C-alpha cells in the first residue's frame, strides 16, 4: 500500500466507469455482469450492480441491511478480512499447565511476575475499550458493506482477546476483582484509558458526518483507536511478555500474546486503510491543522505510554532493558505516523526488537489449526488468504 497518499487528494469526485469490465473485472452477458473470483462465478444484474457500486462510500453512502459486499469496491478491506479469518485462533485450547506450574513456583522473578500481572490487568480493560469503540463509533458509521464486514470481524477478534485474558485468569487462578481493583489504582493505566476514551461518549451519541468538524472527530477516533492505542500503546507490554516467553517462561500466555499481536497488525492495517479511503473521499478532513492535531494526539499518547512502560519495568531486568522499551514506543509511534504521511516525532529509526518481528512473522507461517483439533475447519478456510481464492 502506498504510504504517503494522504498528503494530496485533488478531488472528492467519484468515478462511475461506463465500462463494467473495467469496474468489476466482469464480463457482460446481456443484463448481467458476470465475474469469476477464485473457483466461483457471480452473476449480478448489471444496472443494480452499477447502482450499488456508485452508492458505496466509507461514510454517508447507501446503507444496505443485507450487508452484501458485492460488487467489491474496497478490495483491500476484504483482503484484510480474509487475512484476519485465516489467522483465526481459540484461546481455550491453549495449554496453560506449564504456565500454572511456573506461576505457583519460584520460576518467575518478582519483576517478571509484575509484568505478567500488568499484562493481564491492562489488557483486560484495553481489549474491551477497543471492541466497544470499534462497534459503537467506527463500524456504526461505516456504510460500505465490505468495510463493515472487516470491522465486524475486528470486533469479534477483540472478544477473542478478552476471552484469552479470562483463560489466563482462570488458569492461573488469579482473583479477577483483585486484579481489576489493583489496576484501577495505577495512575498510568487510568490516564492511558481516559486519554483514549475521552471523546467516546460524545461520539457514541452520534455525529453529523456531513460536517467537516464531525468527519474529523470520526477520523481522529479511528486514528486514536487503531494507530495510537493498538498500534503504539499495546506494543511495549506485548514485547515484555514475549521477552519472558523467549526465556521459556509463561509460554501459554506468550503464545496467546503472539496470536493477539498478529491480529493487532491487521487491525492497524484496517484502520490505516479506512483513514486513507475516508480522506480520499472527504479531502476536507485533511487540513494542515487537523494533521497537526493527529500528530499532537500521538505525542500525548507516547508520553502516557512511556509513563506506563516505566511502571511496568521500573529498572532493567534479565533480558529486558528499559531504554529499549522506551525506544520501541517511539519507533512504533513513528511508523504509524509515517504510514499515514504524517511527520514523525523522534529520531528512533531502528526497531530495537527485530527478534520480535521475526517471532510474529514465523508464527504467520505456522497455522494455528495444523496441530490442533480441526472439526470446524472447512476446506479453503485456512490455507487460502487471498481474496481471489476465498470469496
Smallest distance from Mn ion to CB 93, Å: 19
Smallest distance from Mn ion to CB 41, Å: 36
Give the C-alpha distances (Å, rounded to integers) separating 57 from 60, 151, 194: 6, 15, 31
Which region, judged by CB under 5 A, interacts with Mn ion, from 103-111, 151-159, 176-184, 235-243? 151-159
Written as nine digits, the cell of 96 is 496453560
* 173 torsion bin: left (phi>0), alpha (psi -120 to 50), beta (else): left
Verify binding: residue 192, Mn ion, rule CB under 5 A: no
How open is the CA angle 138-141-145, to the nearest 5 degrees?
Answer: 95
Give the C-alpha distances (Å, rounded to integers) separating 9 from 279, 343, 372: 8, 18, 48
Smallest distance from Mn ion to CB 267, Å: 7
Residues 42-71 that bind Mn ion (CB under 5 A): none
Nearer to Mn ion, 73 or 192 (CB): 192
Smallest distance from Mn ion to CB 286, Å: 27
305 binds, among Fe ion, Mn ion, none (CB under 5 to 8 A by kind): none
Nearer to Mn ion, 133 or 243 (CB): 133
Quick note: the x/- pattern for Mn ion over 200-239, rule CB under 5 A, is: ----------------------------------------
Quick note: the x/- pattern for Mn ion over 83-122, rule CB under 5 A, is: ----------------------------------------
Q: Which of 23, 99, 112, 230 binds Fe ion (CB under 5 A)?
A: 230
Residues 295-334 that bind Fe ion (CB under 5 A): none
Verify binding: residue 161, Mn ion, rule CB under 5 A: yes
Strands 32-37 and 40-45: antiparallel
Smallest distance from Mn ion to CB 245, Å: 18
**Residue count at the site for Fe ion (CB under 5 A)?**
3
Nearer to Mn ion, 141 or 260 (CB): 260
Q: Which of 52, 153, 249, 267 binds Fe ion (CB under 5 A)?
A: 267
What residues does 33 pair with on adjacent strands? Answer: 28, 44
Could you tell me which residues come within 8 angstroms of residue 158 by beta carbon, excluding any fewer than 6 positions away?
127, 128, 130, 131, 134
CA gyration radius for the chain? 22
| H-type alpha helices, 205-287 | 212-222, 235-246, 251-281
**DSSP letter for each residue of 52-111:** HHHT--SSSS---TT---PSPS-HHHHHHHHHHHHT---GGGS--HHHHHHHTTT-S-HH
Position with the least CB separation from Fe ion: 267
Nearer to Fe ion, 146 or 230 (CB): 230
Which region, judged by CB under 5 A, interacts with Fe ion, from 16-24, 141-149, 240-248, 256-264? 256-264
Which region, judged by CB under 5 A, interacts with Fe ion, from 41-49, 102-110, 263-271, 378-386? 263-271
Q: How far apart are CA 97 and CA 375, in angstroms?
A: 24
Nearer to Fe ion, 215 or 267 (CB): 267
Nearer to Fe ion, 61 or 121 (CB): 121
| H-type alpha helices, the chain | 20-24, 46-54, 75-86, 97-103, 110-133, 145-172, 176-184, 187-197, 200-204, 212-222, 235-246, 251-281, 288-312, 322-339, 354-365, 387-390
Nearer to Fe ion, 245 or 267 (CB): 267
Position with the least CB separation from Mn ion: 161
With CA atoms as reference, report the closest residue to 228 among 275, 184, 260, 181: 275
Binding site for Fe ion (CB under 5 A): 230, 264, 267
Binding site for Mn ion (CB under 5 A): 127, 158, 161
Amino acid at each position: 500500500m502506498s504510504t504517503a497518499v494522504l498528503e494530496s487528494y485533488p478531488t472528492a469526485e467519484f468515478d462511475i466507469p461506463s465500462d463494467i469490465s473495467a469496474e468489476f473485472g466482469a464480463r457482460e452477458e446481456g443484463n448481467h455482469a458476470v465475474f469469476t473470483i477464485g473457483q466461483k462465478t457471480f452473476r449480478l444484474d448489471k444496472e443494480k450492480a452499477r447502482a450499488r457500486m456508485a452508492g458505496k462510500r466509507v461514510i454517508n453512502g447507501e446503507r444496505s441491511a443485507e450487508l452484501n459486499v458485492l460488487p467489491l469496491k474496497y478490495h483491500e478491506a476484504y483482503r484484510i478480512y480474509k487475512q484476519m479469518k485465516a489467522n483465526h485462533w481459540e484461546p481455550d485450547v491453549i495449554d496453560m499447565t506449564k504456565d500454572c506450574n511456573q506461576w505457583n513456583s519460584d520460576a518467575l522473578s518478582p519483576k517478571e511476575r509484575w509484568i505478567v500481572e500488568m499484562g493481564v490487568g491492562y489488557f483486560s480493560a484495553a481489549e474491551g475499550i477497543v471492541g466497544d469503540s470499534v462497534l459503537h463509533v467506527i463500524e456504526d458509521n461505516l456504510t460500505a458493506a465490505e468495510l463493515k464486514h472487516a470491522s465486524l470481524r475486528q470486533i469479534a477478534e477483540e472478544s477473542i482477546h478478552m476471552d484469552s485474558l479470562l483463560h489466563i485468569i482462570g488458569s492461573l487462578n488469579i482473583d479477577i476483582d483483585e486484579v481489576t481493583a489493583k489496576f484501577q489504582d495505577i495512575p498510568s493505566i487510568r490516564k492511558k484509558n481516559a486519554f483514549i476514551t475521552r471523546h467516546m461518549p460524545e461520539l457514541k451519541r452520534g455525529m453529523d458526518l456531513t460536517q467537516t468538524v464531525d468527519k474529523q472527530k470520526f477520523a481522529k477516533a479511528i486514528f486514536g483507536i487503531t494507530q495510537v492505542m493498538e498500534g503504539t500503546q499495546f506494543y511495549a507490554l506485548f514485547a515484555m511478555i514475549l521477552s519472558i516467553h523467549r526465556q521459556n517462561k509463561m509460554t501459554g500466555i506468550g503464545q496467546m500474546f503472539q496470536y493477539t499481536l498478529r491480529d493487532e497488525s491487521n487491525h492497524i492495517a484496517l484502520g490505516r486503510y479506512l483513514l486513507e479511503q475516508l480522506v480520499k473521499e472527504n479531502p476536507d478532513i485533511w487540513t494542515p491543522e487537523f494533521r497537526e492535531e493527529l500528530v499532537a494526539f500521538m505525542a500525548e499518547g507516547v508520553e502516557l505510554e512511556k509513563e506506563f512502560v516505566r511502571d511496568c519495568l521500573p529498572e532493567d531486568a534479565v533480558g529486558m532493558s528499559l531504554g529499549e522499551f522506551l525506544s520501541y514506543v517511539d519507533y512504533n509511534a513513528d511508523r504509524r505516523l509515517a504510514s499515514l504521511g504524517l511527520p514523525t516525532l523522534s529520531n528512533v529509526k531502528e526497531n530495537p526488537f527485530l527478534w520480535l518481528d521475526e517471532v510474529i512473522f514465523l508464527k504467520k507461517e505456522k497455522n494455528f489449526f495444523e496441530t490442533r483439533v480441526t472439526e470446524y475447519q472447512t476446506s479453503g478456510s485456512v490455507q487460502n488468504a487471498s481474496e481471489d481464492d476465498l470469496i
